[in-house]
Chains A and B, each alone.
Chain A
């Protein structure tokens, strides 16, 4: 962007701010709420680069809007042409921010005149607005109010990552306590109002992840009063938003673990648990400083970010499709036809996905493969070819970010380094950690496919490789007996050593290849055994050797293919323990979906959930989500959505109301139950 474009951006950003509703609630203290506005062009023009998948910086909380304006008001002696212009842009945007907040103050005062009975509350709102617009936040409520305004302003669709809010806002809570002014009930109500607004705006894939607790640089636990407030507020409200996450480590208080168990036993898949002892060391092995690793949070989904020090960009590798390309020597399964689908929610627009892999790489003709080893070598070369291309793409993006990308000045203003230096966060102004990720979940369905080839073609000789390929090309039409053989071959998630070993082998190939990559400037790409687009993959990957037909579900993350885990959750944990999950520090989650109707006849639900959590931690699972549904109940909800509006389920990195998901995802979730 040149100077002129930057100022155009500032202008449109201010314009967008002006178009938002001014909202003073009928009760409670938290002001600000507007309906989501969707417009692709508007985003581009007004906001510059910001995918809202990572938390904002904390500088505005620290300096207040006024402080930001002061820091950016004048060109400094160290400024270059570029930094001076950028500084000015930030300044311009924050004038709009101040205006937006002051409008709320004005409205509150106006309402106060009309409603003398409610004067006390309305005056408080006005005071809070004035304090954060013209000075620094002094109290918890003011800090939460400021955070909420910024959150609303960041993106007009009301979504985006929240980050470690119990840490960000704790200094304010602490100072309230020190002054004897901490009012827990008032704080609780404000937090519940914050949650209520989120749910009112929109639910589902909203990227609203709130990360709680963790540890400091000395390994001391960071659970604080706000951690409890945020958890309790969720227990009191219990809706889909926000998406809760808790970091656990050996020093976590027992009470925190018990609270997580109690909440998870409700069956809503909240919170997701992150185990510091697996995630942080892997980050540090990859060269991320300990002080940074301590600050990790999750992004809009489950991928890791360094709160206040990184942004995030990620790409996904199609692992099961890689098996297909190996089988067809670089081509797609000819059976595939374009499928029009929705990403997750019923009210999203339809689109027709295509593979992101490159066809045409000849990894070997299956006619010449005499052993299973031959097939594995071909798979490996196909995989490396695809990964190298993907890494190159990421490398190009990194180069662009190192040189020309312009970060949204609004976002930049939340980073202290930017305010002090006038630099873009991407180039010295805040993102001191570069977070570019290549992710591949679905290693498990890929492993099922490889094992089925080994078992059915090379061990049991039910068919030849050629016959298998023909059957796949026919989507198993008229090949049902063969498909049955493939379906009954051993599957990941049942504690079968060999197929788990293959899943681990694929994961290793992937992680090592990604780990070994460096950009010209020496930057790394973070590997993760994770994927959000498993539903897209299912619609672009033809029949697979595990007996799956075109469009049948594909596994997510490190979880078994839906329907494959026939031996229950402990067998899933056994299988998962064989994967190098903890090396995939960009995120390698395990989802376990329990059957709610199992908990009868005195089965101690919380005790069992607690055991499973401990077992996963011991097995090296870095990120764990446990949810609990009753298949019959989900079926009824499909029939009568009106009656089941409050049924919350876990999808990938988010929770949603079951009845709002599109049918394919609903089916996927029902088949996950083990």
Chain B
């Protein structure tokens, strides 16, 4: 039986494909989009997250930690990274201010959760595998979708498509719908903002189009970067050439994940952009 590193299973998802869905978030991604709204999904391994706003200062963690991660100012989660005690420490925190994100779960365990809403999905809804990049754990997705098919549950995958075609091919027949982000048309911008090129994504999208596999396209917009020509025009033309697009949405990226960046103690690029903007606006005003 396959297993995968799972970040979360979210019931009643309305934005990961049509209808009411349950979304399985697989942990691990090979890209590093600066605005990522699921930063906790990027690393494959379980991670400690510390939410200072929930901490009630009981000192429970202080007494436990032998590595010097826990101090008066809270927890330094970078130190927790390679520590084998994460789950025990999280369990010791009464307020769930300390949480471990990610656990290995089998397809069977995950399916059990998904079946809870079996009668609610209807013909429209179903299950979505998202992440991170779910196709980095394609074997798991394939087996899970096979089980879903057996239960007559619709399947959908939210992917960067920036993987080898054979990984995509391995789930193709079992997937009803692909949700794909077109972030950039230019390789240079893609490298700068996502840490990876965009050529393979676009190429794989074309192949999906040839196979008439339904896709939803979504474009995260960054003001002044990819909402202007030539990016916007090229993107439009590209989408226009595809024959499998059921809907295409775009939305400006916003700082929704601030709390999570803080809990991971990682830099939040979007927040920094916002700060810069505020400072310059203030400068302009003065």
Interchain CB contact under 8 A, A567 and B96: no
List residues of chain B with CB within 8 A of the CB of A602.
247, 249
Interface of A is mostly: helix
A615 within 8 A of B: yes
CB neighbours of A608 from chain B (8 A): 14, 19-20
Q: Which residues in window 582-603 of A have CB below 8 A to B?
A: 598-603
Query: Interface 1/0s, chain B 57-94, versus A by CB < 8 A?
Result: 01010000000000000000000000000000000001
Chain B interface main SS type? loop
Among A480, A603, A611, find the residue whose CB has the most chain B CB atoms closer than 10 A. A611
Q: Which of B116-124, B129-137, B165-173, B200-208 contacts A (4 or more CB under 8 A)?
A: B116-124
> Separation in Å of the A560 CB from the closest CB of chain B?
14
Taken together as a complex, chains A and B put the C-alpha atoms of A607 and B125 apart, in Å, by 10
| B228 in contact (CB, < 8 A) | no
A480 touches B120 (CB 8 A): no
Nearest opposing residue in chain A for B121, CB measure: A611
Contact partners of A604 in chain B: CB under 8 A: 18-19, 124
The answer to whether B146 has its CB under 8 Å from any CB of chain A is no
**Is A420 located at the chain interface by the 8 A CB criterion?**
no
A488, B14: Cβ atoms under 8 Å? Answer: no
CB distance from A446 to the nearest CB of B (A): 23
- Residues of A217-257 at the interface with B, using a CB-CB cut-off of 8 Å, are none
What residues on B are CB-neighbors of A615 within 8 Å?
A: 119-120
A611 in contact with B125 (CB, 8 Å): yes
Residue contact A570 to B11, C-beta cutoff 8 Å:
yes
Closest to B246 in A: A602
> Is A573 an interface position by the 8 A CB rule?
yes
Closest to B96 in A: A488
B97 to chain A, nearest CB (A): 9
Q: A481-B60, A488-B94, A495-B116 are in contact. Are A568 and B19 (CB under 8 A)?
A: no
B15 at the interface (CB under 8 A from A): yes
- What are the residues of chain A within 8 A of B233 when measuring CB–CB? none
Which residue of chain B has its CB nearest to the CB of A616? B120
A603 and B15 contact, CB distance less than 8 A: yes
Interface range on chain B (Cβ under 8 Å from partner): 20 to 34
Find out whether the CB atom of A611 lies under 8 angstroms from the CB atom of B19: yes
Q: A482 interface residue, CB < 8 Å from B?
A: yes
Instruction: Tell me the A52-97 residues at the B interface (CB within 8 Å).
Output: none
B56 within 8 A of A: yes
A618 vs B121: C-alpha distance when bound (angstroms)? 13
Q: How far is the CB of B151 from chain A (nearest CB, A)?
A: 16
For the complex, what is the distance from the CA of A603 to the CA of B18, rounded to whole Å?
A: 7
Closest to A572 in B: B12
Q: How far is the CA of A453 from the CA of B284 in the complex (A)?
A: 59
Task: Choose one: A480, A571, A612; the contact of B58 (CB below 8 Å).
Answer: A480
Residue A377 interfacial (CB < 8 Å): no
Measured in the bound complex, the distance between the Cα atoms of B11 and A615 in whole Å is: 14
Cβ B95 vs Cβ A481 within 8 A? yes
How long is the Cα–Cα vector from A488 to B116 in the complex, in angstroms? 22
B251 interfacial contact with A, CB 8 Å: yes
Q: Do residues A601 and B120 form an inter-chain contact, with CB atoms below 8 A?
A: no
Q: Within the complex, what minimum Cβ distance (angstroms) separates A347 from chain B?
A: 37
In the bound complex, what is the Cα–Cα distance between A600 and B60 (angstroms)? 41
A618 to B117 Cα, complex, angstroms = 12
Nearest Cβ in chain B — how far from A455, in angstroms? 13
Question: CB-CB < 8 A to A482: which residues of B?
Answer: 94
Contact call A601/B11, Cβ cutoff below 8 A:
no
Interface contact A484-B94, CB-CB below 8 Å: yes
The answer to whether residues A571 and B19 also contact, given A481-B56, A482-B94, A602-B247 and a CB cut-off of 8 A, is no
Q: How far is the CB of A328 from chain B (nearest CB, A)?
A: 24
Does B20 lie within 8 Å of A570, measured CB to CB?
Answer: yes
A571-B249 CB under 8 A given contacts A481-B60, A604-B19:
no
Max chain A CB contacts within 10 Å: which of B15, B94, B125? B94
Q: A601-B15, A608-B19 are in contact. Are A571 and B125 (CB under 8 A)?
A: no
Given A482-B94, A603-B15, output 7 extra A-B contacts at Cβ < 8 Å.
A480-B58, A484-B56, A484-B58, A495-B11, A598-B15, A604-B124, A607-B124
Interchain residue pairs with CB less than 8 A apart (11): A480-B56, A482-B94, A484-B95, A485-B94, A495-B116, A570-B116, A571-B11, A600-B15, A601-B15, A601-B251, A603-B14
Please provide the 7 A-B residue pairs with the shortest distance between their CB atoms, ordered closest to farther.
A568-B12, A484-B94, A481-B58, A603-B14, A484-B95, A481-B94, A615-B120
